[in-house]
């Protein structure tokens, strides 16, 4: 079978008009990548128009998908990067206001998430292994401890670990044949993409598959009623992440980073991704921060310390707190008994609680500050 070329894709896109000219001539197509029949690109639109351009995005996707030799297409909407853009972010409704106005046009250009879900918060990281899932689990439980009804969606297609961390076994069921019932553990509802695929069966996720699976996990699960749905994002800042950030109607995102420089550079990429999709970044969490020796009680900074706080300040985003590097966190999170639930009085659990309080404060106040300006080095 013939493989589509970049020229083929551009020719197809030239057939799609936006106003009086086609999307390619208007310079709306950005980051076009064509590889072995898999096509991805971003459609840059005015942030004011936001979701109104969804039909245009779909038309572009369809036109490219119809080309011979195209196996998958991932097209995402992003905001213009003009210098004025960061002053034009739509205002966020507060958590309560979002719940009241769900579905109403006054709620802002971003569509609401699944019905009966107050706000969706993404936990993201620039790379794997920084403790993103550990933070997502304990943050969800800490939010529950603060009196919220909480759900946790494990969207980490590369290594779903939430079932293990929550100690969940078995498969979710459907009572009505339409919606999947979320599983429950430690007082929170949870669904993992790991429930939908067989363990030990490596899957190669293509853009549209990721989108379909994640849309289902959001919309075809009986989440309601929830105040907050925490989403454990796939690590990195590729297509899957961008798509999810765009499709999931996120109220905001938190970025998990270790203090190491390299992880911080990745955290910056995460920030930049959310900025482009107009998702407010609530701030950065430094994980595996201070190490307290279990024998002598002495503090040491194995991966350095304070880098996330500095980066957050530099980027104009908030620092949401630091989680110590502690054996008890590793043991409880890998043993299916998260520390925020099983030892709430411990300093480690209190660190998660402090972060949860900050996240909640972000959700409950409209964040109308301009999005941080990202300068990539
Ligand atoms: P990610 O989701 O970023 O890939 P995980 O949450 O799976 O990372 O964490 C990777 C490993 O690090 C796990 O074994 C986890 O228990 C451990 N871990 C995460 N955070 C901490 C911490 N603060 N202290 C000790 N171990 C941690």
pLDDT tens series, the chain, 377 aa: 678 898 999 999 999 999 889 999 888 887 788 877 888 887 887 767 766 888 898 899 899 999 998 888 877 777 654 433 333 333 332 232 222 222 222 233 344 568 899 999 999 988 888 899 999 999 999 999 999 999 999 988 777 889 999 999 888 888 888 888 999 999 999 998 877 766 555 555 555 666 677 778 888 899 999 999 999 988 877 766 777 777 777 889 999 988 876 667 777 777 787 877 778 889 999 998 877 776 777 777 666 666 777 778 877 789 999 998 888 999 999 999 999 999 999 999 999 999 999 999 999 874 434 444 444 43
With a 6 Å cutoff on the Cβ, whether 330 touches ligand 1 is yes
Distance of CA 221 to the CA centre of its chain: 18
With a 6 Å cutoff on the Cβ, whether 74 touches ligand 1 is no
With a 6 Å cutoff on the Cβ, whether 246 touches ligand 1 is no
Q: 358 with 318: CB under 8 angstroms?
A: yes
Q: d(Cα 11, Cα 37) in Å, to the nearest integer?
A: 15
Strands 226-232, 117-124: parallel, antiparallel or unpaired by DSSP?
parallel
- Which residue CA neighbors atom 19 of ligand 1 most closely? 131
Per CATH, the architecture of 6-90 is what? 2-Layer Sandwich (3.30)
In the chain, domain spans: 6-90, 117-363
- What digits encode the pLDDT tens for the residues 3-60? 889 899 999 999 999 988 999 988 888 778 887 788 888 788 776 776 688 889 889 9
Q: Does the structural domain 117-363 have CATH classification 3.40.50.300?
A: yes
- Which residue CA neighbors atom 15 of ligand 1 most closely? 330
Q: d(Cα 355, Cα 338) in Å, to the nearest integer?
A: 16
With a 6 Å cutoff on the Cβ, whether 125 touches ligand 1 is yes
- Compute, in angstroms, the gap from residue 329 CA to the centroid of ligand 1: 8
Backbone angles phi, psi at 55, to 5 degrees: -60, -35
- What digits encode the pLDDT tens for the residues 225-268? 999 999 998 887 776 677 777 777 788 999 998 887 666 777 77
With a 6 Å cutoff on the Cβ, whether 129 touches ligand 1 is yes
Sheet containing 150-154: give its strands across: 183-185, 188-192, 150-154, 226-232, 117-124, 252-257, 281-286, 319-322
Residues 6+ apart with CB under 8 A from 42: 29, 30, 31, 75, 76, 77, 78, 242, 276
Closest to 44 (Cα-Cα) out of 92, 89, 81, 16: 81
How many CB atoms sit inside 10 A of residue 234's CB? 25
Q: Which helix (H) or strand (E) holds 244?
A: helix 239-247
For residue 287, which atom of ligand 1 is closest to its CA? 23
From 123, 125, 128, 131, give the residue whose CB has the most ligand 1 atoms within 8 Å, as the site to mutate. 131
> b vs e for 327-342, b when ≥16 Cβ sit within 10 Å of the residue's Cβ?
ebbeebbeebbbbbbe
With a 6 Å cutoff on the Cβ, whether 182 touches ligand 1 is no
For residue 348, which atom of ligand 1 is closest to its CA? 23
User: How much of the chain is in helix, strand and coil states, percent to nearest 5?
Assistant: 35, 20, 40
- Compute, in angstroms, the gap from residue 134 CA to the centroid of ligand 1: 5
With a 6 Å cutoff on the Cβ, whether 127 touches ligand 1 is no
pLDDT at residue 302, as a whole number: 64
Q: What is the largest CA-CA distance in the chain?
A: 72
Look-up of token digits 């690109």 = 41
């Amino acid at each position: 079978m013939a493989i589509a070329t970049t020229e083929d894709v551009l020719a197809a896109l030239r057939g799609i008009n936006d106003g009086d000219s086609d999307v390619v001539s208007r310079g709306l197509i950005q980051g076009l990548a064509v590889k072995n029949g898999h096509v991805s690109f971003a459609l840059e639109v005015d942030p004011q128009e936001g979701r109104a351009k969804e039909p245009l995005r779909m038309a572009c996707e369809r036109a490219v998908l119809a080309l011979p030799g195209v196996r998958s297409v991932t097209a995402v909407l992003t905001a213009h990067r003009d210098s004025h853009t960061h002053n034009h972010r739509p205002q966020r409704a507060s958590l309560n206001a979002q719940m009241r106005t769900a579905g109403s046009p006054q709620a802002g250009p971003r569509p609401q998430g699944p019905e009966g879900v107050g706000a969706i918060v993404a936990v993201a990281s620039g790379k794997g292994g920084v403790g993103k899932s550990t933070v997502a689990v304990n943050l969800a439980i800490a939010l529950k401890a603060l009196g919220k009804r909480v759900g946790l969606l494990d969207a980490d297609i590369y290594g779903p670990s939430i079932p293990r961390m929550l100690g969940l076994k078995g498969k979710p069921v459907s009572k009505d044949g339409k919606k999947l019932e979320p599983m429950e553990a430690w007082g929170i509802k949870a669904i993992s993409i790991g429930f939908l695929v067989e363990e030990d069966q490596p899957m190669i996720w293509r853009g549209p598959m990721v989108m379909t699976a994640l849309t289902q996990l959001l919309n075809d699960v009986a989440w309601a009623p929830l105040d907050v749905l925490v989403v454990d994002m796939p690590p990195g800042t590729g297509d899957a992440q961008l798509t999810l950030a765009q499709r999931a109607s996120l109220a905001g995102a938190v970025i998990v980073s270790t203090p190491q420089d390299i992880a911080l550079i990745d955290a910056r990429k995460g920030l930049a991704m959310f900025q482009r999709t107009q998702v407010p970044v609530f701030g950065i969490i430094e994980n595996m921060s201070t190490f307290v020796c279990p024998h002598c009680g002495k503090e040491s900074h194995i991966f350095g310390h304070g880098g996330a706080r500095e980066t957050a300040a530099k980027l104009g985003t908030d620092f949401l707190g630091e989680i110590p590097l502690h054996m008890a966190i590793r043991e409880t999170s890998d043993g299916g008994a998260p520390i925020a639930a099983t030892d709430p009085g411990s300093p480690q659990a209190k660190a998660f609680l402090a972060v949860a309080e900050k996240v909640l404060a972000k959700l409950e106040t409209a964040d109308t500050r301009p999005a941080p300006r990202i300068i990539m080095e």
